[in-house]
Structure 1
Amino acid sequence: MRKLLLSLFALLSFPAAAQLTDSFTDGNCTQSPAWTGDLASFQVNTQLQLQSNGPATTGTTLQLVTPCQAATGTTWEFYANLKLATSGSNYADVWLMADQPDLKIPGTKGYFVRLGGTPDEVSLFRKDASGSPVYVVNGLDGTLSSSTNNVVRVRVTRSLQNGWTLERDLTGAGTSYITEGTATDATHQRSNYTGVLLTYSSANSRNFYFDDFRVTDATPPTLVSATPATARQLDVVFNELVDASPSAVSYRLTGAGAPAVLTAQRDAADPALVHLTLGSDLPLGNNTLEVRNVADLYGNTAAGPLTLSFLNKGFPVLPGVNQVLITEIMADETPAVGLPASEYLEIYNPTAGALLDLGGLRLQKAGSSTAAVFPAGAVLAPGEYAIVCGSTRAAEFAGFGKVFGLSNFSSLSNSGDQLLLRSRTAQTLFEVSYSDTWYKDNRKKEGGWALEMVDLANPCAGIDNWTASTDASGGTPGRANSLKVTNPDRTPPALLRAVALSPTTVRLFFGEKLDSAAVANPALYGLVPAVGITRVAPVGPDFRMVDLALGSPLTVNQRTTVAAQRITDCVGNAAGPATSTTFALPDVPAPDAVVINEILFNPRTSGVDFVELLNRSAQYLDLRGWQLSSETETGTDVQNISREPYVLAPGQLVVLTTRPDVVQSQYPTNDPTTFLALSSFPSLPDDAGTVILLNTTGQKLDSYTYNKSQHLALLDDLNGVSLERTRPEGPSLASNFHSAASTVGYATPGRPNSQYQADPGGSKFFRVEPETFTPDGDGQQDFTSINYTLNQPGYVASVTVYDALGRLTRRLVRNESLAVTGFLPWDGLNDQGRKAPIGYYVFFIELLQPSSGLKYEYKRTVVLGARL
């Protein structure tokens, strides 16, 4: 090995008269030049030829190599005699170029001439790092047809333009060459070794003979490329290894304002690469390099000027926030409209003049540790688009422009995902949380159409700045989006709510993405009652939240106002007047503090279920860790409400659903902040079930058993109709729920219930409210109630409804135990489930106290009317 390294050093360091010559006239193969490998299995015979002398074992492979760096503008010659019948088990590969000294391993790259093989041919092959060898020149089959004496002299020439010529002379004299063919192949530009690799069966271990190896490079170097590495360094690549001594070499940049070349240094690892240090910054645009007197390792000198024009686009810089954008999303690729049936993203460089270095940039979903990483050397020019897809899909988009095929490219959810572009240091550079509602087109939502950003100057906006592509193919990967219009964001950020995460930490929630640097100033925030703010921390990855660290702890349930002023969103809009909201440090919930206020269990087509909660206490309560459960005949389904802090103020509503956007589209609300999106929702059967609210310890806070029969019997279609609690302070029983009114769209998520009925109070045993009602489903006095307040518990009541003529209309309750206070509703239906006629009606109330046997009777009148 030491002798091999010394020989390689000599070739790299000093010009030589010939690149490689060995006719074995010195009687050995270990000196001038030194061959290495299976030396014990070769000999230089008495005819001064290299002869195989390996073990007589079928399937043996032998090799010898010697250093040789010649690659282009080179001629290889050698003599061979295979005294055997060539076959697929008996052949010789003479390697002209090899990148490593072990020719037996699959990963060796280069070119070789095969003598023999199954076709008995003389052919030129290329070998890559993986895969089988491939033909460069496929020689004539049957050329080596003798079973005892296959003499051949081979000459291979590679031009500076990577043109290959394969010639052979079967006389062995080298005077009667016949061309086997020509080809062009520029795959491998470097060489470290030349050698032979033999494969044989047991009878042929001594039947390979070689002589007159000669490698000649008679052509001077040429320029291949010049690449700006920094503002003052230019990397110059030649087609072959060049002399390390630059004393006679002249490097010059031409043109007005061209910088001087101060030093030229050959690269230590790649002798074909020279680093030029410049005296001043390299101008942008086209430049020309001129080189004189550069020589290769073999004394060939390019005396005249070598010239090469190159473009300086600028030097890659790391992208900052919103300097690389996701501008197009193909999440649902099937059925394909006109593009490949493959998910992809489109990225864009919106800067005016920055060439972005994307190497190490990470594409991932929020909350995932897996990322698709851009490779080293990946760049994006100013105003340039690129397609990003899985590594196995890159070829499908090759015709659309620049493509980055990345490993670990995560599957994009059809319904929506939160996507992040993060720097090498994990800084969030861009975030988008798309949803299938962004298509704004139910047909395109079904697949084959991309989502496109409308105004690239407004990268922080959501649904208002995205829509389905209008291009006939379904998208515009790699080019300007189909709907490209001005859509600026001129709205300052609004403070939506605040939550006390702990006695000394308050989290503020804003309606849009913020400028994380601009909003980190404690002077922008204030609390009443006054509490000092020691630190402000914007919360990623989308920076819609800000955490305030307080100098002193908050008091439980103390109402506090927080104000924020001059808060800047991520496109520069700043709030003028202070925006404020109230909050308090949450308390431990009292029994029945939060109740089920409304439920939709049988949604419309394309709709979703929801459950609305009401905080009817005077406490501030945190829903973090609470659960919503469904009990049916088939089992229990429990789902988490929130893993993050979510505080309900006294009297506040919250709507739980998996798709707030869908519910809001079907039941418009003026306050979308009352909605809390759940990742999963308990299964609610369309006919009947029980919904249960549980706290962090699994304790039941409230439950409601629903049934479709509880709906107003006059309704023809129950789909999309919610059941609403009529009295907040009443029990979670069927008697305290009613179908939502038609006048409000049959549900009121996030709004006061349409069937809300105030408690009339008072000290009378029984009172009817309202005294006139119109049961038509319009939300206006759709039912009446017998409100009662008793002097003690333990009463049992029966209530019967009669019309003005004394005819039985409805047995409302029979022997029902009553609480001390409560109400009994009548929806205007008779015992047959039909609406009773308009007119006067009498409630006949029988009140019994079982403990004493006392019995009381009451009559109350009511009018069942109709709207004209």
Structure 2
Amino acid sequence: MRAFILGLIPLVFSIAANAQLVESFADGNLNQNPTWAGDEGSFQVSGEQLQSNGPATTGTTLQLVTASTAASGVTWEFYANLRLATSGGNLADVWLMADQASLKTSGTKGYFVRLGGTPDEISLFRQDATGSPVYVINGQDGTLKSANNNVVRVRVTRSAQNVWVLEHDLAGGQNFASGGTATDATHQRSAFFGVRLTYSSANNRNFYFDDFRITDTVPPALLSATPTGPHQLDALFSENLDAISAASFRLVAGPAVLTAQTDADNPALVHLTLGGNFPLGNNTLEARNITDANGIVAAGPLTAAFVNQGFAVVPAFNQVLITEIMADDTPVVGLPASEYIEIHNPTASTVLDLAGLRLLKPGSATAAVFLAGAVLLPGEYAVVCGSTRVSQFAAFGKVFGLTNFPSLSNAGDQLVLRARNGQTLFEITYSDTWYKDLRKKEGGWSLEMVDAANPCAGSSNWTASTNDSGGTPGRVNAVRTTNPDRTAPTLQRAVALTPTTVRLVFGEKLDSLANTNVGLYALTPAVPITRIVPQGPDFRAVDLLLATNLPPNQPLTVAVHRATDCAGNGAGPITSTAFALPIAATAGDVVINEILFNPRTGGVDFVELLNRSANYLDVQGWQLGVEQAAGLSASPISAEPYGLAPGQLLVLTTRPDVVQSEYPTHDPAAFLTMASFPSLPDDAATVVVLDAKGQTIDRFSYDEKLHLPLLSDRNGVSLERIRAAEPSVGGNFHSAASAVGYGTPGRPNSQYQADPTGAKLFQIEPEIFTPDEDGQQDFTTLTYRFDYPGYAASITVYDAQGRLTRRLLRNETLPNSGFLRWDGLTDQGRKAAIGPYVLLIELYRVAGGETHTYKRNVVLGGRF
């Protein structure tokens, strides 16, 4: 900014209009025309010259200043005579610009001419708020070489373009020689002009100065015009202005200027108020007859072009979207080898102010923060990457390089954009299954959002880029097409977190405001609901706050009359689910119901649990573990509350999407995603379920030999529990049927068999079975119940001709009740022939010496 100089009292009228300070010391004093301050007692006017007269002490520093705001388009001139040999301890600094009155203390900013110093030079220096002075113009060493008479007149000019010219005349006249030129625009404002002297004891009276003159020779220039509001415009000039009028300004296109007011802190800045909103796009401000503070007039017209891009506002929910994710950048296909995301402003006319916007992964201690000045124009796309990767994406348009840019997991991650007030603006939890392409999943390709008008959708609205370079950072996605969300949200489950808080979990993101109406929810038996609290950052859940405590383990039903997703779809019919305040589980309440330990290539392991008790339980803090020779290896099942109702199935896996794609299920809500999963060997191991206190709830020792021997390929075949009430032993598990795809995660087991009723000592079920792995009567069971303990048994299968087919049991002690399974195979592992068979049962009770023999008939059938 160009400014003018004023003393502390007005200048006399005889001074030329373009001269802002003239000090010849002809009046013989320092207290008027202008007024000087500082160490004025250590200076005197002698022979109409300013002379130092400080203490005769080596290392003394003196200063004298007067008010001056001259900064640009200005010429400074002064006469000096240093009657001494200059050195590092004997020098004079003439401050042309200083932002503070103290020239001795650190922190004062400005420019000064140094006379002397160790190089005996005449040079121009800049002083910043910290650090040592730095050269602007480094004058010739040895210029001031006299031991007792260094006479010089110095002239310094700074143009409006910040070009500095240093000149001097070593005879003290007006025959100036060049001392150098340079460009420096660091400091644009000044408050004082002055001198600072440093000397040894013998030189306390050897500094003389005269003819200080500061002259403004340049009319004011219009530097810029900046829209600051719908009908506000700031005009910045090169120097302080005199009184101005709205009549001096007009827009080439747009409403009239109603008022013009100089800024209270910066008289070179003018605030204009317009008669209406000016149009978007390119425009020009004109200014005429502008007078600076020194009376110099710029007739004009002065012009400044500007662009009205609209006025940035803080984004609202879903106004700034993540529309592309490069999580796995290797191998390189055609884009830079760097992770990035793409953000998009889907609005038609709103400029978004991203300053303070945070990009983070929930749970992380750090966030990547957008800096002040970051804006996203209507419809604009921009790349967001690490601060050191900006140059790699410069060719793709607007780039925001952020410190603490989060590392993106290749397999999947959760990303959140939060406003500076903490509001969640956008959330995405992606997975590498979203590529829907095994080749592109391996790296070098980005994930792209299909329809930006459907930002709340997950996998159904994302896929791998189809662009040949691997992605479309900074521009419209290659896969863009219409893909609206017309599905209403479904209520998946409810769990009582506390006696007065119930959490409802839905199948998709909700409208966090539309679902806070207490009237949308009801409990049966009736319990008053006081408030609804949506749960971020993904807003798939709401908490119901209750007026009274729920009793433990007493079933209730929660009904949702209407739930609205963030796309505006509302549930039609009332949806409901049962729940209760959970109680602690005991051993055997929950059992392992199905297990896949040898998945197909590309598949993943899973373990299905069954709550066979009559109790409502919570698996928060539970663990799934594997016992091996090296010890127990366990992984957390759920860090969050997760209710398990009586009879409910719960499928544990790290990749529900993969399991569901291989084993179609009618209840995706039965799946719980685990962050990690214990390693399940393909041959044999013991799986353990532990509660939050580390107590064993169930354990099952699986073995690949438990699979049906006739299977040609056991990969991808799960073991299913046969009877819920029976122990978790090998005899109670069987290979899943081929007719259901060799697995039933999240739905009833294909090999499930109800516990038989009746009081018979031995019971065959079914009496006709067809071991063809179709899930229908694939085996037969012999259920037994004894009145007394201690029986040993041998059970043998014979065909109709009395030939031995299979020894099921041989002299083994049995519990009071249980069952044995025959899968239709012979002792040689071959399928037995179709026809009738006899099970010969021989019992021996040691305590009483009793021996009993029984026969039961069964038919091995086949389908034609």
Partner of 1:429: 425
Give the counterpart of 1:817 among 807, 810, 813: 813
Alignment of 1:731 onto 2:732: no
CA deviations over 1:17-72 (Å, ceiling 9, x no partner): 63455567788889866777788999999985669999757xx9998766533222
> Relative to structure 2, which stretch is displaced further, 37-46 or 720-729?
37-46
Partner of 2:249: 252
Partner of 1:74: 74
Partner of 1:160: 160
- What is the identity, as a one-letter code, of the residue corresponding to 1:69? T
Q: Determine the C-alpha separation between the residues in 2 that align with 1:83 and 1:743.
A: 111
Partner of 1:353: 349
Alignment of 1:227 onto 2:226: yes
Contact 1:169–1:178, Cα closer than 8 Å, also in 2: no
Partner of 2:215: 216
Contact 1:52–1:209, Cα closer than 8 Å, also in 2: no
Q: Determine the C-alpha separation between the residues in 2 that align with 1:215 and 1:318.
A: 47
> Relative to structure 2, which stretch is displaced further, 733-742 or 842-851?
842-851
Shift of 1:730: 1.3
Q: Secondary structure at the match of 1:519?
A: coil
> Relative to structure 2, which stretch is displaced further, 595-604 or 575-584?
575-584
Shift of 1:835: 3.3
Partner of 2:319: 323
Change beyond 3 A, Cα 1:193–1:799 = farther
- What is the identity, as a one-letter code, of the residue corresponding to 2:73? G
Shift of 1:223: 1.7
- What is the identity, as a one-letter code, of the residue corresponding to 1:564? V
Partner of 1:702: 698
- What is the identity, as a one-letter code, of the residue corresponding to 1:573? N
CA deviations over 1:530-585 (Å, ceiling 9, x no partner): 55555444333322223344566666656554443443322222333333444445
Contact 2:169–2:175, Cα closer than 8 Å, also in 1: yes
Shift of 1:658: 2.3
Give the counterpart of 2:605 among 595, 603, 609: 609
Q: Determine the C-alpha separation between the residues in 2 that align with 1:657 and 1:739.
A: 19
Q: Secondary structure at the match of 2:19?
A: coil
> Relative to structure 2, which stretch is displaced further, 364-373 or 722-731?
364-373
Partner of 2:830: 835
CA deviations over 1:679-736 (Å, ceiling 9, x no partner): 3334444444332223344433222223344334445655443322122121111221
CA deviations over 1:108-158 (Å, ceiling 9, x no partner): 65556677899987666666667887776677x767495969876554433
Give the counterpart of 1:261 among 239, 250, 258: 258
Shift of 1:842: 5.7
Partner of 2:623: 627
Q: Secondary structure at the match of 2:658?
A: helix
Contact 2:257–2:272, Cα closer than 8 Å, also in 1: no
Shift of 1:597: 0.7
Give the counterpart of 1:644 among 629, 637, 640: 640
In the alignment, structure 2 segments of 5+ residues that lack a partner are none
CA deviations over 1:579-623 (Å, ceiling 9, x no partner): 344444545546522211112334444443322111223333332
> Relative to structure 2, which stretch is displaced further, 780-789 or 611-620?
780-789
Shift of 1:757: 3.1
CA deviations over 1:433-490 (Å, ceiling 9, x no partner): 2222222233433444332222111111111112233334433333222222111112
> Relative to structure 2, which stretch is displaced further, 297-306 or 32-41?
32-41
Q: Secondary structure at the match of 2:69?
A: coil
Alignment of 1:238 onto 2:251: no
Change beyond 3 A, Cα 1:256–1:711 = closer
Partner of 1:384: 380
Contact 2:252–2:286, Cα closer than 8 Å, also in 1: no
Alignment of 1:487 onto 2:487: no
Contact 2:227–2:233, Cα closer than 8 Å, also in 1: yes
Q: Determine the C-alpha separation between the residues in 1 that align with 2:88 and 2:467.
A: 56
Alignment of 1:511 onto 2:510: no
Contact 1:189–1:239, Cα closer than 8 Å, also in 2: no
Shift of 1:237: 1.8
Q: Determine the C-alpha separation between the residues in 2 that align with 1:8 and 1:372.
A: 50
- What is the identity, as a one-letter code, of the residue corresponding to 1:612? E
Q: Determine the C-alpha separation between the residues in 1 that align with 2:470 and 2:625.
A: 42
Contact 1:43–1:52, Cα closer than 8 Å, also in 2: no
Partner of 1:570: 566
Q: Determine the C-alpha separation between the residues in 2 that align with 1:681 and 1:389.
A: 31
Q: Secondary structure at the match of 1:855?
A: strand
Mapping of 1:57-68 within 5 angstroms?
A: 67-68=67-68
Q: Determine the C-alpha separation between the residues in 1 that align with 2:849 and 2:252.
A: 117
Change beyond 3 A, Cα 1:764–1:547 = same
Q: How many residues align?
A: 854
CA deviations over 1:185-239 (Å, ceiling 9, x no partner): 5454333455678899999999998765543322122222233333444333222
Contact 2:580–2:616, Cα closer than 8 Å, also in 1: yes
Q: Determine the C-alpha separation between the residues in 1 that align with 2:29 and 2:526.
A: 96
Contact 2:710–2:830, Cα closer than 8 Å, also in 1: yes
CA deviations over 1:832-865 (Å, ceiling 9, x no partner): 7x43664676655432222222233445566667
Partner of 1:18: 19
Contact 1:321–1:429, Cα closer than 8 Å, also in 2: yes
Q: Determine the C-alpha separation between the residues in 1 that align with 2:252 and 2:23.
A: 48
Q: Determine the C-alpha separation between the residues in 1 that align with 2:42 and 2:335.
A: 60
Contact 1:330–1:451, Cα closer than 8 Å, also in 2: yes
Root-mean-square deviation (CA, aligned residues, Å) is 4.5
Change beyond 3 A, Cα 1:659–1:190 = farther
Q: Determine the C-alpha separation between the residues in 1 that align with 2:862 and 2:42.
A: 113
- What is the identity, as a one-letter code, of the residue corresponding to 2:221? T
Contact 2:634–2:678, Cα closer than 8 Å, also in 1: yes
- What is the identity, as a one-letter code, of the residue corresponding to 2:572? G
Q: Secondary structure at the match of 2:463?
A: strand
Mapping of 1:747-766 within 5 angstroms?
A: 747-766=743-762
Q: Determine the C-alpha separation between the residues in 1 that align with 2:751 and 2:91.
A: 94
Q: Secondary structure at the match of 1:655?
A: strand
- What is the identity, as a one-letter code, of the residue corresponding to 2:342? E
Q: Determine the C-alpha separation between the residues in 1 that align with 2:715 and 2:489.
A: 38
Q: Secondary structure at the match of 1:538?
A: strand
Change beyond 3 A, Cα 1:559–1:147 = same
Q: Secondary structure at the match of 1:518?
A: coil
- What is the identity, as a one-letter code, of the residue corresponding to 1:18? A
Q: Determine the C-alpha separation between the residues in 2 that align with 1:332 and 1:207.
A: 74
Mapping of 1:431-830 within 5 angstroms?
A: 431-502=427-498, 505-527=501-523, 533-549=529-545, 560-589=556-585, 591-715=587-711, 718-770=714-766, 779=775, 781-800=777-796, 812-827=808-823
Change beyond 3 A, Cα 1:706–1:203 = farther
- What is the identity, as a one-letter code, of the residue corresponding to 1:362? R
Change beyond 3 A, Cα 1:732–1:218 = same
Partner of 2:175: 175
In the alignment, structure 1 segments of 5+ residues that lack a partner are none
Give the counterpart of 1:412 among 408, 433, 455: 408
- What is the identity, as a one-letter code, of the residue corresponding to 2:74? T
Shift of 1:510: 2.2
Contact 2:111–2:125, Cα closer than 8 Å, also in 1: yes
> Relative to structure 2, which stretch is displaced further, 38-47 or 654-663?
38-47
